[in-house]
Structure 1
Amino acid sequence: MDWRGRRGSRNIEDRRGARVGSIGGLGGAGVLAVLLIGWFLGVDVTPLLEEGGGSPEPREMTAEDQAAAEFVSVTLADTEEVWTQVFREQLGAEYQPPVLVLFSEATRSPCGGASGATGPFYCPLDRKAYLDTAFFATMERQLGASGDFAAAYVVAHEIGHHVQNELGILEEANTLRAGMSEADSNAVSVRIELQADCLSGIWARRAEQRFGSLEPGDVEEAMNAARQIGDDTLQRNAGQRPMPHTFTHGTSEQRVRWFERGYVSGDLADCDSFAARDL
């Protein structure tokens, strides 16, 4: 991905180096969420959940950290231009971009505590995406998802959730989930995540057309990342038998297919995972 020397976004909130309270201060639901995500990613989150740890030492920023932050800023700027264009052309509406919070080790959000164990996420309550760029190293070293466009896919996926929020889809889906059984709620979650994958595919297509920033192999890097973080693959890599009723993001095959669907089409209407009979 050709990103160096290009415009970065102003919608970055940099909390790296800031001290925050211990993750041990999370409520029971927050602790459970961290444990589950850590289990899926194969990350030992025990040190993050210890009580009485006080404020963790901020991670010292390295040249690699700074380059990663600049990369995220450029990628975010690209999403802003792409989605502004898509909203105007396909919806006749104005796109309101989110803020992306960079943090190191841990931070807080209205949706709960964030840490390196939770991975990147989007919080609809404050319309912000949260990312510790150290997650990119986790992707490469532990998940087998290397390459700068694999990292760009992660950013684009979280911004895809913001697009869903802008369209009212996320609130409606989460309201629906609140009255469901766990298995049914998980099934709706899969549709949310696959739609975000499709939206990230639209972004990739538009970025290629608008900026000429994609290089040979970039799309395959994104699809490989989608493949490596499929629920079935994560469960197998954790030594577990895949259990479809526990899936919350979709299988590897589904995630790749929905990303590719958005990339080939470029049309929001083709990303309606909620209307699809077969995922």
Structure 2
Amino acid sequence: MRRASARLVLLATTLLLVTTACTQLVPGRPTAGESVTRGTVDPSFIRGTDGGPIDQLAATALTDIDAFWEEAFPQTFAKQWKPLEGGIYSVDTTDSSAKPPPCTEKASDVEGNAFYCPSADAIAWDRAALLPVLKDSYGDAAVVIVLAHEMGHAVQNRMGITPEAERRQPQRFPTILTEAMADCFAGAFVKWVNDGKSEHLDIGSDTLDSALGALITFRDPVGTSANDQSAHGNAFDRVSAFQDGYQQGVKFCAAMTVENRAFTQEAFTTADDRERGGNLPFDEMLEFITPDLNDYYESLSTQAGKTWADPKATPTEEEPDCSGDQGPVAYCPADKAVEFEVKADLPELHAEIGDYATGVLLASRYALAAMQAMGVELEGEEAATTALCLAGAYTREVFVRQKGFGLSPGDLDEAVRVLLAYDYAARDATGSAALDPGFKRVDVFRGGVMEGTKACGLA
């Protein structure tokens, strides 16, 4: 976080779609994943295949992705789906003699990458240094999602979002928008699989966290400007697009425009913030955010006609136990205090993920204090949901304000990471009820970020 300004914006930029560097790895927090196949498909139709397990998984995924679009494309666009005309390519980038796929000059151009080539209507991937890494870190679901995303670009080509159209109307089709649309299409496909309509794939709710973990891996480096011509989106924006597709479907994705799609990605605005990587030291974070949380939740309570008293901010050397197991930050209703552990778990999360991991946990516990002040129930899953949503609403307030204590680039990504990995911010005031899986936690939080307290059932 920082003491500076930030805004939620609707982008209208002058970017060009860059399809030949579509999926590239950026280090993220691995999330264990499981197999999602119910039998595999012969990969012999893949050009350059070695017939091995990675290409078997890819062939299985692409077979069902194609079946999905055979159904969804006519329903959405009133036209028949046309399978890829230029073929599908698997490239061993460790083999100097390997033939290059379309849109490249040599096999090494594909290293660590997967892409859709619009001029050839073809998809290619690195069999050596991309798909195996994804599978090992996140499970089969990550490979499926990458390929569903790339097929999403083929869908765009059939919609008329071609390189020629982008050159004629660059402000209408910025890269960050077309990437969000492809993420959205991938989400719609995964929902179709989750509904049991896929012949070979089984991606249940318990594997969705793995899917989001993979998207985090593909985020832009922190501090990348949304106006960068290669910008693909931060983790928050990419996860949002995927979840929108999962919940709203293909028609929603196809209707995305620069006028109706909100993005949160931004560049660093000060040298100091860039040098810190957008993170305040742990002690400074506590010093700045505690009064800000008090001010925000006092305003909410006052608007509701209730009286607010600042909770006692109490550091502890062990995990708080004043009211059940809430994790390293807890709200204690009897004492009207927020206790936070400052020796191990909380500072370790802060160091590992970033300062807004600390921020989200504190914001959700201060939300419980506000809920108590407003006479809202503090126990049960509904209470946990409201507290997390209010943490998102607070995040929105900090993000859109023009001056004072604000978010740094990367803070929203840190929120997504901590919510995927831990349920601390989504526990009730007894610690006995929490939201699962992480997919649901992220969805509730981003509801607060995008819609404010309205999403939380509060005016």
TM over 0.5: yes
Which one of the candidate residues 248, 253, 271 is aligned to 2:236?
Answer: 253
**Residue in structure 2 matching 1:161, options 153, 158, 170:** 153
Distance 1:173 1:217, change over 3 A: farther
Query: Structure 2: how far apart are the matches of 1:107 and 1:138?
Result: 22
User: Unaligned 5+ residue runs, structure 1?
Assistant: 17-60
User: If each structure's helix is expressed as a fraction of its own residues, which one has the higher value?
Assistant: 1
Distance 1:14 1:227 in 2: 29
Q: 1:74-121 CA distances to partner (integer Å, 9 max, x unpaired)? A: 100001110000022222211011232112115424422353425001
Query: Match for 2:75: what amino acid?
Result: E
Larger Cα-atom Rg: 2
Alignment partner, residue 252 of structure 2 = 269
Give the structure 1 partner of residue 89 of structure 2.
Answer: 101
2:140 is the alignment partner of 1:148: yes
Structure 1 equivalent of residue 71 of structure 2: 85
Q: Compared with structure 1, are the counterparts of its residues 218 and 133 closer, same or farther at alpha carbon in structure 2 (3 Å cutoff)? A: farther
Per the alignment, in what secondary structure is the counterpart of residue 112 of structure 1? coil
Summarize the Cα distance change of 1:173–1:248 in structure 2 as closer, same or farther, 3 Å threshold.
Answer: farther
Paired amino acid for 1:248: A
**Deviation of the 1:216 alpha carbon:** 4.3
Superposed CA deviations along residues 166-216 of structure 1, whole A, max 9, x for unmatched, are 111234543236xx6xxx69x801111110000111111112220261134
Q: Specify the code of the residue in structure 2 equivalent to 1:121.
A: F
Q: Secondary structure at the match of 1:14?
A: coil
CA distance in 1, matches of 2:207, 2:165: 31
Distance in 2 between residues matched to 1:270 and 1:242, nearest whole Å: 24
Once the 2 structures are TM-superposed, how far is the Cα of residue 138 of structure 1 from its aligned partner? 3.4
The match for 1:208 is 194
Name the residue aligned to 2:162: 170
Residue by residue over 1:13-34, the C-alpha shift from the partner in whole angstroms, topping out at 9 and shown as x without a partner, is 3214xxxxxxxxxxxxxxxxxx
SS in 1 for 2:52: helix
Against the structure 1 CA distance between its residues 169 and 218, is the aligned structure 2 distance closer, same or farther, given a 3 Å change threshold? Answer: same
For 1:75 and 1:146, the matched residues in 2 are separated by: 15
Please list every run of 5 or more consecutive structure 2 residues that lacks an aligned counterpart in the other structure: 1-34, 264-459
Q: Which one-letter code corresponds to 1:68 in the other structure?
A: I
One-letter amino acid of the counterpart of residue 222, structure 1: A
Deviation string, structure 1 residues 9-66 (Cα, Å, up to 9, x no partner): 77x33214xxxxxxxxxxxxxxxxxxxxxxxxxxxxxxxxxxxxxxxxxxxx5xxx70
Do the aligned residues in 2 keep the contact of 1:199 with 1:259 (CA within 8 Å)? yes
Identity across the alignment (%): 24
TM-score, with structure 1 as normaliser: 0.68
In the superposition, relative to structure 1, how do residues 252 and 86 fare at CA in structure 2: closer, same or farther (>3 Å)? same
Counterpart CA distance in 1 for 2:194 and 2:90 is 25
Aligned to 2:208: 219
CA displacement, residues 189-248 of structure 1 (integer Å, 9 cap, x when unaligned): 1111110000111111112220261134322211111112111xxx24xxxx44443352
| Separation in structure 1 between the aligned mates of residue 65 and residue 55 of structure 2, nearest angstrom | 15
Structure 1 pair 117–208 and aligned structure 2 pair: CA distance change class (3 A): same
Who is 1:15 aligned against? 48
Partner of 1:278: 262
Partner in structure 2 of residue 2 of structure 1 = 36
Q: 1:139–1:70: structure 2 CA closer, same or farther, 3 Å change rule?
A: closer
Distance between the aligned counterparts of 1:154 and 1:160, measured in 2?
10
Return the letter of the residue paired with 1:136.
L
SS in 2 for 1:194: helix
SS of alignment partner, residue 88 of structure 1: helix
- The CA deviation string for residues 138-174 of structure 1, in whole angstroms up to 9 with x for no partner, is 3467xxx511101110011101101111111234543
Paired residue type of 2:250? D
